[in-house]
Structure 1
């Protein structure tokens, strides 16, 4: 039986900074349990290598949602990192924090201390910003945040066309304002991915007070007299116990964290009983409030410029691309998938952007099956703040059974309207001079698909997740809240939840940066409590 001050479940985007901060003063021992392997797969560390890990069950949970009525009854692929670094080891690397209003909204909902001015110092604490320190950025943190290398001409043409369409240019989406178009920054440096594991865990696991165990899948939490005291986990076919003298920190992500709570008898009574699980602590919000970004894509054929589709399909170009990366850490492999894009308002009367665009120098109907055979690129339109809400429920108390994931995509009429408006605006941008002259045609859905009804049918038939599930252990003060503003589980002692599941509402952009911030905040709360 292992006994530590802190036991951290999950070495992902939030879990790694938790481990780093809890262990750095040397006073506390920390056990880290990661269900996946070490991040030794070389494709993890190649920025464009996410195409190789996208459906790799060795480093990816490879979940699927339940059939969604809003998407013509389709089950949607929902990848989730199962490796040191979690989803930060397999994501698209784009680093954006969200909008000021996102965090101010959390605070207005009763989460004191989570307004933008409160969380900004924790974003800055993590960050080593390429352009140095200022009021919005830090330069002394372990997380490398750098500009995209080798931006494709088509990606740059999108920015020029968007400005011609009246959208302002923005050189820093994490600065004083988010709205506008430009190049993204990414968690990569000198052609190498900087996952949460690389940034935070590498240093931490060299300390004598940190123990990292991989291939360790948590069965259930141990509860004694109203306090979570530890857990049982499986590793190498053997069952083990771990005791947390101070606290268990649950950082397994928005899909697995509620599942672990439910397997432990913590959750909504009727859901637990349906799964054959004895109720230990009724907390009805566990697994509710699921939110995710959804995207619809324009696949466009390039008129004259080569894209990644062409390069991957040409053996000589593929070899040259590999050699360029191997010797110089440059070229397409060293770049991100979404190189440029932006945050826009689909209607002038809105007070802030409601759509995010990703422009990618490749196209695919299904990335698991490879790229299109024509020289294509993609403009993806992402719904920033969905009003639809879904659920995550366990099937049984067996950790090998994947959870029932029902995002309830496009249930809200406002979500459908915004998705339509986002595609129409993307087309308007594509019709502007700099980009229009590089386009041979729109392959998907094709310009014959024009009416609202036809476009909505296309969206229902093809839309996919952007892989940003959040909210299933939400922070708040209402009856569905799972944790309080210090991320402590309501009604039980000894457990902190620290990952994207605690977000009351989804942030307006990719969720990795905000998840890291949540990890930083959780560690600060625990250290304050542990030293008092």
Structure 2
């Protein structure tokens, strides 16, 4: 006999953990939360610098790779996705960033009522626990007492302070808060940590309610396909899973209300296509029988391509030297062990900046992640010489990619094709971003460090050369969204409506980053929590009738 629930949530990542918390708050509602990965009891999930050991680790990462990317010179790049309770919030950079007011007002204007900035702000505030209100008081743009802890970082760097001063000299003013609707400016990122420990979604939303008798959490449960009623209604009735890995048993779980997809922009699109939901031609090519023609499934993939610009410096303390020294490593370990401070509390990027790549931009359209370190590529040792990295990404790319099945095998990795730098506009923003970075680095505040461009190198000067350089140094910043976009039924590429109900598929709702019509202007973890918060409220409202 298959177990029966009111709601089945597929994916215990950022969105899924919050959904499970909210939906199970009513003791009369039976909720099942399914996660393909394992529990978040790995020590490196909780130590902030542990992302170095979680990304690229099969214990916590799906280990996806993109198809060869024409815009990146034919390179195939790693595409990390969390495979553990907490999902990407267990392996990401911990940066709390909502995006800009215009992002959400644009969603609403595209036919999605209820998704403008003023509409969605209360859902950010509901779960926020912002450090700025620890001493009391009120702030109309921040919340306190929620589950999602937001703190200042616990270290600073003289070199990054100088970069902030250089940015100010270049017209990018200092800021202490990127989350008030206009994130223009330069300052240290706020992070999802509690006293120097990573604060992931499972720790915030799932573990505190794990004792609820009406909530069941199953790890090691990979969803193979969605099940449908056999009464001709086409309504989703449950899921079929593989438990315990590739050699495990198959099991079906049924629900009376809805299946909620929260497997992310890659996983959700893949599972829908495995279930025959998507472009009929695309799923048929992979060997799956088409069931519902929704051509937008797996399309509209958007991501922030970061251009990693590296500058060698002199007379500066950087992490390169400290991390390559046994004494330095010992000092870092002791700092963390005794005080929960120092480099082991670092997010991958400490200093941020939002700016306009050229004067024609109405608002900030590029974001910097600045780090007091450098390396050839993620996962490799830091350089032996002192250096910093100024990664810059186009916040609103116009290139669109795809997620497609590689085969009908549910355990096979999907084909991920971000299609970076495919448009002339994106190539221009890339070129302008490199020029802007060079202007910042040439400012007086950084001159005492004699910065010298190491990557991509000063030989790249023309628009064409700089676009080529962007393809050489560009890589994902781990923000895939949009593969099941929200939009009205009149939009042939829309997959869900403004209440996140799947078009043409009753009983199915999607509540993760895949529903974003356009990518937000910043890191995407906080917006994903907001989407889940709003989705849970709508589902409970629908349940009450």
Q: Is the 8 A contact 2:101 2:181 kept in 1?
A: no
Report how far residue 149 of structure 1 moved.
1.3
Distance 1:213 1:429 in 2: 50
What does 1:82-481 correspond to in 2, within 5 Å?
A: 82-132=83-133, 133-224=138-229, 225-236=233-244, 237-477=248-488, 478-481=491-494
- Give unmatched runs, 5+ long, in structure 2: none
Query: 8 Å contact 2:99–2:181 — kept in the other structure?
Result: no
Per-residue CA deviation, residues 42-85 of structure 1 (Å, 9 max, x unaligned), is: 11111121111121111001111111111111112110000011
How many Å separate the matches in 1 of 2:56 and 2:381?
Answer: 11
CA displacement at 1:27 relative to structure 2: 2.4
CA displacement 1:184-213 (0-9 Å, x = unmatched):
111112110111111111112221111111
Separation (CA, whole Å) in 2 of partners of 1:425 and 1:458: 14
Q: Is the 8 A contact 2:128 2:148 kept in 1?
A: yes
CA deviation profile, 1:79-123 (whole Å, cap 9, x unmatched)? 000001101110111111111000000000000100000000000
The 8 Å contact of residues 158 and 341 in structure 1, kept in 2 or not, is answered as no
Deviation of 1:135 after TM superposition, in Å, equals 0.9
For the residues of structure 2 that align with 1:528 and 1:166, how far apart are their CA atoms?
47
Which residue of the partner structure matches residue 536 of structure 2? 523
C-alpha distance in structure 2 between counterparts of 1:18 and 1:45, whole Å: 22
Contact 1:258 1:287 (C-alpha < 8 Å) held by counterparts: yes
- In structure 1, how many angstroms separate the alpha carbons of the residues matched to 2:338 and 2:543? 48
8 Å contact kept, 2:318–2:386: yes
Aligned counterparts of 1:212 and 1:42: Cα–Cα separation in 2:
21
Q: Which runs of 5+ in 1 are unaligned?
A: none
Secondary structure, in 3 states, of the residue corresponding to 2:384? coil
Secondary structure in 2 matching 1:14? helix
Residues of 1 paired with 2:389 and 2:55: CA distance? 18
Q: Residue deviations 1:8-30, cap 9 Å, x none?
A: 10011111111111112322111
Find the residue that maps to 1:369 and give its secondary structure: coil
Equivalent residue number for residue 508 of structure 2: 495
SS of residue in 1 equivalent to 2:164: helix
Greater shift, 296-305 or 115-124, is seen at 296-305
Structure-1 separation of matches of 2:114 and 2:447: 47
SS in 2 for 1:231: strand
Q: Scaled by the length of structure 1, what TM-score is found?
A: 0.98
3-state SS of 2:327 partner = helix
CA separation in 1, counterparts of 2:181 and 2:401? 32
Q: Is the deviation greater in 369-378 or in 241-250?
A: 369-378
Measured after TM superposition, the shift of residue 456 of structure 1 is 2.2
CA deviation after TM superposition for structure 1 residue 176, in Å: 4.7
Normalised by the length of structure 2, the TM-score is 0.96
Q: Tell me which moved more, 505-514 or 299-308.
A: 299-308
Secondary structure, in 3 states, of the residue corresponding to 1:128?
strand
* Contact residue 309 and residue 473 of structure 2 kept, 8 A: no
SS of alignment partner, residue 242 of structure 1: strand
* SS across alignment from 2:379: helix
Of the structure 1 ranges 163-172 and 134-143, higher mean CA displacement relative to structure 2 is found in: 163-172
* Structure 1 stretch displaced more, 170-179 or 354-363: 170-179
Moved more, 366-375 or 320-329: 366-375
CA-atom RMSD in angstroms: 1.1
Distance in 2, matches of 1:223 and 1:162, equals: 55
State the aligned residue count. 532
Partner of 1:11: 12
